[in-house]
Structure 1
Amino acid sequence: MFADFFIKRPVFSSVCALIILLLGAISIPTLPTARLPEIAPPQVQVTTTYVGASAEIVEDTVTTVLERQINGVEGMKYMESASSNDGQSTIIATFDPSRNKDIAAVDVQNRVSIATPQLPEQVRQIGVTVNKQSNNILLALGLYSENDEYDSIFLSNYADLYIVDALKRINGVSEARIFGERRYAMRLWLDPNKLASRNLTAQDVVDALQEQNLQVGAGQIGQPPTVDGQEFQLDLRAIGRLTEVSEFDDMVI
């Protein structure tokens, strides 16, 4: 009987249906819809590099020092670390899902700051990086030259200059890295026998490079305050970093 009333009055039924539809559309934004909770626990990654050190040395002098300070930070569930023979130290701290990832990163950064004075000088110069990110790879992109005009070094530097920074600016992207990264550089191969015969070490060569391969500002001539009659102000330019193989050959160690 109830259905017959609406069947015999199609116009009235259509109006009622439209009213119900409009009321539903209006009430949707005000409904107490429950949101799905965070399933993946937040992770904070700590990375640094000890150039020239073996995995054992990195573990003893860098990774262990950082782990001791990071351990016990509020809300942390567990921590994992890795030290590699290329001098890389990586620590991943996993927190409870209820923990705010921004606050967790700040807490880890504070612990890292406490441990920094205990790290080797070379590590402190490079710095320790703290990022809110998962160690899992979300997407991998391949960069190549169709006609083999550009080599891997050029492509790696192109990606570093024009692609990586653009990817990092995308909302939700924490880190973008170049696998197999290669940079334009002057590489020096040392003869250990000749170094030993002159009572030198690899660190002596590094110290000489840092002292003689500098980029400095030479200053100005005629910069105020000056004497009366001074009309010109000249910028001085000095030879900067070494760029040729012959210049490195002439270095004094």
Structure 2
Amino acid sequence: MAEFFLKRPTFAIVVSMFIVILGLLSLKEIPTEYYPKITPVEIAVMASFPGASAETMSRSVAAPLEQAINGVDDMIYMYSQNASPGNVKLVVSFKVGTDPDMALINTQSRVNLALSSLPIDVQNQGVIVSKQEPSVAIFVALQDKKGLHDDVFVANYGNIFVADKLSRLDGVSTAKVLNARDYSMRIWLKPDRLAQFGMTVKEVAAAVQEQNGERSIGLIGAEPLETASQLTIPIGAMGRLNDPKEFENIVLRATKDGAIIYLKDVSRIDLGAQSYDVVATMNGQSGAFIGVYQNAGSNTIDVSNRVRNKMEEISQFFPEGLSYSIPYDTSDYIKQSIWQVEKTLLEVVVLVGLVIVIFLHSIGATLVPLIAMLVSIAGTFIAMYLFGFSLNTLSLFGLVMSVGIVVDDAIVVVESIERNIRLSALSAKDAAFRTMKEVSKPIVAIMCVLAAVFIPVSFVGGIPGEFYRQFAITIAVSVVISGFIALTLSPTLSIMFLKKSTEVNKFGKYFDHIFDSITEKYVQGARWVLLRPKKAITMCFIVVGLIGFFALTTPLGFVPKEDQGLILVSAALPDGSSLSRVEAVSNQIEQIAMSTPGVADVLAISGYSLIES
């Protein structure tokens, strides 16, 4: 193969250029994240039974759903959360690597089988099946710092005009207001008045449901007619009620003597929020807090940029007094982490280049390994895209490690060609042909050995295998591509950059003199060790013993602990604690956090767990 490309240098250069172009195009499409996706695919099943207790929800709603869903394809486990207001959330976890769309379809099919066994009120409310995102990617806070709007208005504005637009962004799975305050007509019944009139809650609810709805009445002038009509006019009537006064005039009962009992006679009616179960504040001030969840496999940094750009656009039309901020964005830490790895990669490239210049004494000879290294990295991006990998700390760390490996093959080729030119007085082309006959098999052997070291890691099962697979495959692919480049592009570039005259400059001669003296001392040390085998073996045992000691005493961990600039505090109160009690504890924690030096923002949410949700 090497001889084929040496005879066709243009073809070798075109192939490498093609690899670089494809690598750059692949780099744009590779998602960016902090760690590889190792969490199981999760599907959430949510249902509501207004007014039911947690025990009732567990027995009559969660149990039938669990029985129907249990055993769905690729499921590993599931759990349910039942809340006393009448809500149940069932989370089904699937094997890592399962197609989320297929998991959603299979779960929905099982839920449909259980619908008939659920209470009729639950069926009327509907059962929601959706993909469960593991955590919030971005928090957007809407606040009225001038006090012109109440919390219900701010939350509804965020739900209608902000969350909907953010949900439509590319890469965003969903955006929802965590402390939603959807407008709702609240009817407060008076038990004494109901008892006086001999009425029940069910009778009141039936009357409200019957008189608060859309009705199709008919048409005037519809066929058949005795006389021709020029117009057909639809008949309209009052549909859904919008004002508290309209609800007050709902007729509950008409007595025989002509008396009419209205809804206002047995209740108090006002316009409020549908739910007050979640209360949220930021830095002590209330507002609406929108959690943005990203799609699996999407680029976190791109999603963050789209959300920020869209919020900047939406904010131009905010009502007076309303403003927004982004107190939490996972991409901030990812950007810092990726930048540190990229900076390290750049430093490695520069250091490798300096080392090559110092040892080979030639800028032209240095360009060959550097170009080979860049082409190998570009080719690695192609493989990462094809394998569905992402740019994360592990895959980039693999690239950093591979930089020192991928240049080795090119250095071997360049140094051997330069040696043949200098010692055998050959032209660069003849020296390249001789060199490739000498080193082609060793390069292939080195490539296979290095690949054999890292490829087995990709077959490790479970979460550790998923976690380190991208690291191992990245190095293995870069090694294979570097071997291909060393057999094709490196000898071609060597012919172009290496000259027959190889006179060494003064710095090169001085460096060679120092390096030769160090080499001589090393040879003397090796000779001393060879002449004293017992001492050498004893030293080896001592080193092995120290390695074993430190291996046993060093703390173990899955990943190193890192400071992400974020602290999550969860307060668990006794079962049955009221929201006001939870809010009081949350306010205390918030005050402590705000008084701590170095804290930028404090987001407190009562009635909703960011850790469990």
Per-residue deviation at 1:21?
Answer: 6.5
> Which residue does 1:215 correspond to in 2?
214
- Name the % identity: 32
Q: Greater relative contact order: 1 or 2 (C-alpha under 8 angstroms, separation 6 or more)?
A: 2
Contact 2:54 2:84 in 1 (8 A): yes
Q: Which amino acid aligns with 2:113?
A: I
- Segments of 5+ residues of structure 1 without an aligned counterpart are 1-15
Larger Rg: 2
Per-residue deviation at 1:85?
Answer: 1.6
> Which residue does 1:168 correspond to in 2?
167
CA–CA distance in 2 between the matches of 1:144 and 1:239? Answer: 36
- Give the 5 Å matches for 1:106-117: 106-117=105-116
1:77-130 CA-to-partner distances (Å, cap 9, x unmatched) read: 111110112211101111001321111111100000000111111111111111
> Which residue does 2:40 correspond to in 1?
41
Per-residue deviation at 1:206?
Answer: 1.3
CA–CA distance in 2 between the matches of 1:195 and 1:139? Answer: 48
CA–CA distance in 1 between the matches of 2:54 and 2:90? Answer: 14
CA–CA distance in 1 between the matches of 2:133 and 2:123? Answer: 24
CA–CA distance in 1 between the matches of 2:135 and 2:200? Answer: 40
Per-residue deviation at 1:207?
Answer: 1.2
Contact 1:133 1:175 in 2 (8 A): no
Match of 2:16 among 1, 20, 24: 24
CA–CA distance in 2 between the matches of 1:177 and 1:154? Answer: 16
Contact 1:133 1:174 in 2 (8 A): no
Closer/same/farther in 2, CA of residues 84 and 135 from structure 1, 3 Å limit: farther
> Which residue does 1:190 correspond to in 2?
189
> Which residue does 1:157 correspond to in 2?
156
Contact 2:155 2:181 in 1 (8 A): yes
Per-residue deviation at 1:183?
Answer: 2.3
Closer/same/farther in 2, CA of residues 236 and 99 from structure 1, 3 Å limit: same
CA–CA distance in 1 between the matches of 2:212 and 2:126? Answer: 21
Segment of structure 1 superposing worse, 239-248 or 19-28: 19-28
Per-residue deviation at 1:218?
Answer: 2.3
Per-residue deviation at 1:172?
Answer: 3.1
Q: State how many pairs are aligned.
A: 234
Per-residue deviation at 1:155?
Answer: 1.8
Contact 1:131 1:174 in 2 (8 A): no
- Give the 5 Å matches for 1:100-111: 100-111=99-110
> Which residue does 1:52 correspond to in 2?
51
> Which residue does 1:129 correspond to in 2?
128
Closer/same/farther in 2, CA of residues 130 and 205 from structure 1, 3 Å limit: same
Greater share of residues in helix: 2
CA–CA distance in 2 between the matches of 1:243 and 1:133? Answer: 34
CA–CA distance in 2 between the matches of 1:172 and 1:59? Answer: 35
Does the residue aligned with 1:130 lie in a helix, a strand or coil?
Answer: strand
Does the residue aligned with 2:184 lie in a helix, a strand or coil?
Answer: coil
- Segments of 5+ residues of structure 2 without an aligned counterpart are 1-8, 254-613
CA–CA distance in 2 between the matches of 1:245 and 1:38? Answer: 50
Does the residue aligned with 1:103 lie in a helix, a strand or coil?
Answer: helix
Per-residue deviation at 1:213?
Answer: 1.6
Q: Which amino acid aligns with 1:58?
A: M
Per-residue deviation at 1:68?
Answer: 1.1
Segment of structure 1 superposing worse, 138-147 or 192-201: 192-201
Per-residue deviation at 1:228?
Answer: 3.1
Per-residue deviation at 1:168?
Answer: 1.9
> Which residue does 1:11 correspond to in 2?
none
Per-residue deviation at 1:133?
Answer: 2.2
Contact 2:155 2:182 in 1 (8 A): yes
Per-residue deviation at 1:45?
Answer: 0.8
1:150-173 CA-to-partner distances (Å, cap 9, x unmatched) read: 222222222222222222222332
Per-residue deviation at 1:181?
Answer: 1.2
> Which residue does 1:147 correspond to in 2?
146
CA–CA distance in 1 between the matches of 2:197 and 2:237? Answer: 32
Does the residue aligned with 1:140 lie in a helix, a strand or coil?
Answer: strand
CA–CA distance in 2 between the matches of 1:248 and 1:21? Answer: 79
Q: Which amino acid aligns with 1:66?
A: L
CA–CA distance in 2 between the matches of 1:131 and 1:176? Answer: 13
Contact 2:65 2:114 in 1 (8 A): yes
Structure 1 runs (4+) greater than 6 angstroms displaced: 18-21
Does the residue aligned with 2:138 lie in a helix, a strand or coil?
Answer: coil
CA–CA distance in 2 between the matches of 1:161 and 1:219? Answer: 33
Does the residue aligned with 1:203 lie in a helix, a strand or coil?
Answer: helix
Q: Which amino acid aligns with 1:142?
A: A
Contact 2:54 2:83 in 1 (8 A): yes
1:42-99 CA-to-partner distances (Å, cap 9, x unmatched) read: 1111112111212121111111111111111110111111011221110111100132
> Which residue does 2:252 correspond to in 1?
252
CA–CA distance in 2 between the matches of 1:26 and 1:205? Answer: 74
1:234 matches 2:226: no
CA–CA distance in 1 between the matches of 2:72 and 2:106? Answer: 7
> Which residue does 1:83 correspond to in 2?
82
Q: CA RMSD in A?
A: 2.7
Per-residue deviation at 1:180?
Answer: 1.7
Q: TM-score, normalised by structure 2?
A: 0.35
Segment of structure 1 superposing worse, 49-58 or 20-29: 20-29
Segment of structure 1 superposing worse, 188-197 or 111-120: 188-197
